[in-house]
Structure 1
């Protein structure tokens, strides 16, 4: 066995203690110059984290966006929705996707980048350079804080604003008779009292083969059929004008059938036109003050707990972005380095995040019925974050007389 010792350290060098069975010796090795100062390492790791987060976010958002957009295809195929309006619909759904995707993307990016650094031995070099657990986790924590602030902006403003516009546009489109009656060959129930069927619609907007069943007066239901007609707007509201048709009615007392032929007949639909104006705002459409302080409206009082639970979920939910990242760092950085890989630690972090996400959803659902579950929503985040930081910052106990990797020489 042959050993070589340096009599004195060089400026900026590292001291590594080693032994080959005899007296312990010291090896002096120069610090890697490519690491640079601590802020440079933070920028290096943070750059990789942000790139990975952006990629995962785009991938997940596109996948969810595509599945949700398929529900709106009906508006294009059957109702003639313009492509520009369809894109507006889809764009307004984007904030609701990002609020769910960003915390998961941040967690996945942190696991991927730090696992890659460990497998490429970059993490070993950083530890040898004297970086502590907190210094190693600093880039991921910075990313977690940035994502948390972004999710807060989405949750408190962009989500209710976009979802409110989406529901208003959807409601206005459904209330547009020219779109509703364009469903050729389909019996369309406009309201509980009116059903319309159109066999064909010409390019000029003329309706052909019209059938209208009017049951607004339950004692005198009326069925009207016409060869052609049109939907027109008036100051009193929308109306269907039919030509060359008949009006069929059955007398309720006698059961006598009466048939009236007409050259021109008009059906007023003003009542339906007024219906959408009194639409109740759903919880996702409301801003935080509207959720925490429901109004005196009957439906607001009926769904009071649901509104309050949604408000507290808007406050607690974004914090999971930071919690997920710290859990990932605690799993990958705590303990000693294992050259066989970190698959078990990665799986453990994923299991913890999945369980925590399930608990969050369960508590949110429970808070819709019991106000006592609201404090548990805050407690879950605080306890999870505290335990994750405890595991991350604690010092692992080293086994006695354990040589450092790479310290022996032959």
Structure 2
């Protein structure tokens, strides 16, 4: 269920690799030299690549805006249900279990969440050990604390002077302190929320109003991160098309621009994190990929020296 977010992060790098591989193959077969020699403009050469990258951008946007929150909400709800049902998992019908030191619980039968013939011995307070017997018992949250509600129950304790104290209850609760952590209400993190929730926090929700900057930073990150598909794809094009013809290959250029692509993406993650405390940096979340993409386009379309005649003759053979 966490794969949509991971896939959205990896997708721009996959675009870089795919573009680099495709153009490198064209260089290997001298197709790039041929298309330029035939009179095709730079835009005609790169437009099919940009159209393909646009599909990746749309896919990335769908993942960020729809698939990720749906998947993460499902995961969060599953985790919550498992934790809520963890109390029932500690009971094995017909067996004495010790979920904590000096605590023993027994239930003859467990059916539909209801325990029958319950025995609990709590010796964690060694000065005053307590024993409970109950006809039935169910797990419940009392004041947001995991507990066992005992019905038709009795409690036996031994006082400090050795006198046995015996009390009967129609219903009482035994808190599982130190055994099971309290389970609060289901809470959705920033990554679990839909884009409408990120940009329009509930004014009646105290937590959301206290974290407006964080919510908006997450929203702008999800809207801006698909642009890195263009950015990294254009960096791959610059590495292979913006420079001079090289008979020695383009491996060094690809490594250099691969490092640049990684640094640009890491800077984007840094801006997204910093925008949680400074909202003005949300503009930079869009400015970085757009600015780098614009620079790449300028490098691609600036006047370049004509390819060597020898290279054209080699490509024509």
Q: Normalization by structure 1: what TM-score?
A: 0.60
What residue in structure 1 maps to residue 197 of structure 2? Answer: 290
Cα deviation 1:32-54 (Å, max 9, x = unaligned): xxxxxxxxxxxxxxxxxxxxxxx
Structure 1: 5+ residue runs without aligned partners? 1-91, 190-194, 216-220
Structure 1 residue 334: deviation in Å?
A: 0.9
d(CA) in 1 for partners of 2:157, 2:16 = 66
Distance 1:298 1:244, change over 3 A: closer
Cα deviation 1:270-302 (Å, max 9, x = unaligned): 9999x7573332111111121112122121122
Structure 1 residue 160: deviation in Å?
A: 1.0
Structure 1 residue 367: deviation in Å?
A: 0.5
| CA root-mean-square deviation | 4.6
Q: 282-291 or 263-272: which moved more? A: 263-272
Q: Kindly indicate whether residue 266 of structure 2 is the aligned counterpart of residue 343 of structure 1.
A: no
Contact 1:224 1:247 in 2 (8 A): yes
What residue in structure 2 maps to residue 120 of structure 1? Answer: 29
Q: Kindly indicate whether residue 302 of structure 2 is the aligned counterpart of residue 394 of structure 1.
A: yes
Contact 2:34 2:312 in 1 (8 A): no
Q: Normalization by structure 2: what TM-score?
A: 0.75
d(CA) in 2 for partners of 1:339, 1:115 = 12
Distance 1:238 1:346, change over 3 A: same
Contact 1:239 1:266 in 2 (8 A): no
d(CA) in 2 for partners of 1:267, 1:174 = 23
Cα deviation 1:117-168 (Å, max 9, x = unaligned): 2123333333333333222222321121000001111111111111112111
Contact 1:185 1:200 in 2 (8 A): no
Q: 127-136 or 198-207: which moved more? A: 198-207
Q: Kindly indicate whether residue 66 of structure 2 is the aligned counterpart of residue 157 of structure 1.
A: yes
Contact 2:120 2:131 in 1 (8 A): yes
User: 1:315-394 residue pairs with structure 2 within 5 A?
Assistant: 315-394=223-302
What residue in structure 2 maps to residue 72 of structure 1? Answer: none
Cα deviation 1:230-254 (Å, max 9, x = unaligned): 86469x998466999975577xxxx
What residue in structure 2 maps to residue 281 of structure 1? Answer: 188
d(CA) in 2 for partners of 1:404, 1:309 = 53
Contact 2:131 2:157 in 1 (8 A): yes
Q: Aligned to 2:288, what secondary structure does the other structure show?
A: helix
Distance 1:133 1:278, change over 3 A: same
Q: Aligned to 2:311, what secondary structure does the other structure show?
A: coil
d(CA) in 1 for partners of 2:119, 2:33 = 77
d(CA) in 2 for partners of 1:166, 1:182 = 25
Contact 1:244 1:263 in 2 (8 A): yes
What residue in structure 2 maps to residue 407 of structure 1? Answer: 313
Contact 2:227 2:290 in 1 (8 A): no
Q: Aligned to 1:130, what secondary structure does the other structure show?
A: coil
